[in-house]
């Protein structure tokens, strides 16, 4: 699980954070960088093709590896191949081509995520999901260290071309993990003469019917909670690297503080989040994570007033990344608890899509928000030491406020005692 978590996490920053640093260094506008984040919408609509991974078997690979590992291997090879092609792009000359490759990379990475999530849930008992979620988060954050700090160090001292080629090579960790992972039990194939209709109903309709038949009207509240929970992180995260560049931090400083030290804080948050889930329960842990997210965004607003101050950056990253790790573990455990093992890939993909979709849609406008705040006469004088950092303070105040709706829903669930899934 640790190695597969690493494989899942590796492409993420290469589509978002690391790519945004590359684009900003290449003088791409913040508005364009925000719009580029829409290339990652594949993560949010992966439930559309998740039923295929639940039902379709890949020729040859299925016999050798089983359904889950066959899809894993195919998606991992695709991710590595696309990263190789991306490494040869020049953002200043071929931004649209780079955007198209980012879309393809996201599709392959999202397919890998569907397969990893399904394997994780099917390979462990319900009582082991909290531990599996924590280990998955640990592997994911180690990958963030590699694709964040590692890629920035290589870009600083070599080139962006070498950085992305190196990330493609690291996908071999996921390939080896897939080949060594145990084969999970599969459901027997339906022999009905109406297998085509049955397949469509079972693959596409029944997972949603099952979820709402178990939770009824409470299902809407659960999906709303999942969708709103990480909105602040998604919206602010796209503008984090452009903020560092605009404040005057070097790539090496960003790599050291944000991507190395920051990953350590995220891992600490993920570990404590796993302990909190076990001792406090899912809903109390979710509420604590939402409070931490709000506080982390407020600290980023303070950072925008400090200029290129490494200590302020370290404090901000400590607060924000700890909150992200804690909240991420709590949310993964919560979504896993809601999943029926008969429809593992489809239902978990539905939950993870709902958790990402609102933040991704708003995040695409994050650059335009910063630029608007920077130009608006009523807010442009809100503190920022560097003129090029104007607009970031009100932006991060807004992202902090985005944590409030999820907190209200969690409190409402706690008061009504809505089901939290399997025990």
- Look at residues 329, 301, 331, 328 and name the one whose alpha carbon lies nearest to residue 316: 301
As for how many domains the chain has, the answer is: 1
| Residue-level pLDDT, tens digit, the chain, 423 residues | 999 999 999 998 888 778 888 888 888 888 888 888 888 888 777 777 877 887 788 888 888 888 889 999 999 999 999 999 999 998 888 889 999 999 999 999 999 998 898 888 888 776 777 788 778 878 987 898 899 889 988 998 899 999 999 999 999 999 999 999 988 876 555 545 445 566 666 666 777 777 787 777 777 888 888 889 989 988 998 888 888 988 888 888 888 898 788 878 988 998 899 899 888 888 999 999 999 999 999 999 999 888 888 999 999 999 999 999 999 889 988 888 887 766 666 677 677 777 777 888 888 888 888 888 887 766 555 555 556 667 888 899 999 999 999 999 999 888 876 444 443
For residues 387 and 390, what is the distance between their CA atoms, to the nearest angstrom? 6
CATH of the domain at 408: 1.20.1250.20
Can you read off the two tokens belonging to residue 150?
């590692």
pLDDT of residue 179: 93
* Cβ atoms within 10 Å, residue 124: 18
129 in a domain, yes or no?
yes
Q: Which residues touch 277 (CB under 8 Å, ≥6 apart)?
A: 130, 133, 285, 329, 330, 333
187 in a domain, yes or no?
no
CA angle 74–146–290, rounded 5-degree value: 95
352 in a domain, yes or no?
yes
The SS3 of residue 311 is helix
pLDDT of residue 288: 95
Q: Helix axis angle, 2-15 relative to 160-170, nearest 10°? A: 150
For residues 317 and 311, what is the distance between their CA atoms, to the nearest angstrom? 10
For residues 297 and 304, what is the distance between their CA atoms, to the nearest angstrom? 11
191 in a domain, yes or no?
no
345 in a domain, yes or no?
yes
pLDDT of residue 35: 85
121 in a domain, yes or no?
yes
pLDDT of residue 254: 87
115: left (phi over 0), alpha (psi -120 to 50) or beta: alpha
pLDDT of residue 303: 92
pLDDT of residue 141: 79
DSSP 92-142: TT-HHHHHHHHHHHHHHHHHHHHHHHHHHHHHS-GGGHHHHHHHHHHHHHH
391 in a domain, yes or no?
yes
Predicted TM-score (pTM) of this structure: 0.69
Determine the structural domain holding residue 399 and report its residue range.
2-182+196-416
188 in a domain, yes or no?
no
């Amino acid at each position: 699980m640790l190695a597969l978590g690493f494989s899942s996490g590796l492409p993420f920053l290469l589509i978002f954070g690391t790519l945004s640093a590359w684009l900003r260094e290449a003088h791409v506008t913040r508005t364009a960088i925000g719009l580029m984040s829409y290339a990652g919408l594949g993560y949010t609509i992966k439930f559309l093709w998740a039923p295929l991974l639940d039902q379709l078997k890949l020729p040859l690979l299925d016999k050798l590896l089983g359904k889950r590992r066959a899809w894993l291997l195919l998606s991992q090879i695709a991710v590595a191949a696309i990263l190789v092609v991306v490494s040869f792009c020049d953002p200043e000359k071929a931004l649209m081509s780079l955007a198209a490759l980012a879309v393809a990379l996201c599709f392959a990475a999202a397919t890998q995520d569907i397969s990893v999530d399904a394997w994780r849930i099917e390979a462990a008992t319900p009582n082991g999901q909290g531990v599996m979620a924590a280990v998955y988060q640990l592997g994911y954050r180690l990958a963030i260290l590699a694709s964040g700090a590692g890629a920035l160090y290589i870009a600083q001292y070599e080139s962006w071309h070498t950085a992305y080629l190196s990330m493609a090579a690291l996908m071999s960790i996921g390939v080896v993990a897939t080949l060594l992972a145990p084969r999970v039990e599969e459901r027997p194939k339906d022999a009905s003469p109406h297998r085509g209709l049955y397949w469509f109903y079972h693959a596409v309709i029944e997972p949603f019917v099952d979820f709402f038949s178990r939770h009824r009207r409470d299902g809407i509240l659960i999906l709303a909670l999942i969708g709103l929970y990480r909105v602040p992180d998604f919206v602010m995260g796209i503008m984090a690297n452009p903020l560092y560049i605009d404040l005057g931090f070097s790539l090496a400083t960003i790599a050291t503080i944000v991507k190395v030290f920051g990953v350590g804080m995220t891992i600490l948050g993920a570990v404590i989040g796993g302990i909190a889930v076990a001792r406090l329960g899912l809903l109390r842990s979710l509420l604590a994570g939402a409070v931490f997210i709000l506080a982390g965004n407020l600290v980023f607003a303070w950072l925008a007033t400090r200029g290129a101050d490494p200590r302020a950056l370290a404090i901000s990253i400590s607060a924000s990344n700890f909150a992200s790790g804690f909240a991420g573990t709590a949310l993964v455990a919560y979504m896993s608890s809601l999943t029926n093992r008969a429809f593992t890939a489809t239902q978990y993909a539905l939950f993870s899509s709902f958790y990402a979709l609102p933040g991704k849609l708003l995040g695409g406008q994050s650059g335009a928000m910063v630029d608007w705040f920077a130009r608006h006469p009523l807010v442009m004088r809100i503190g920022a030491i560097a003129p090029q950092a104007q607009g970031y303070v009100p932006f991060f105040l807004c992202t902090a406020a985005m944590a409030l709706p999820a907190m209200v829903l969690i409190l409402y669930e706690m008061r009504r005692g809505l089901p939290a899934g399997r025990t």
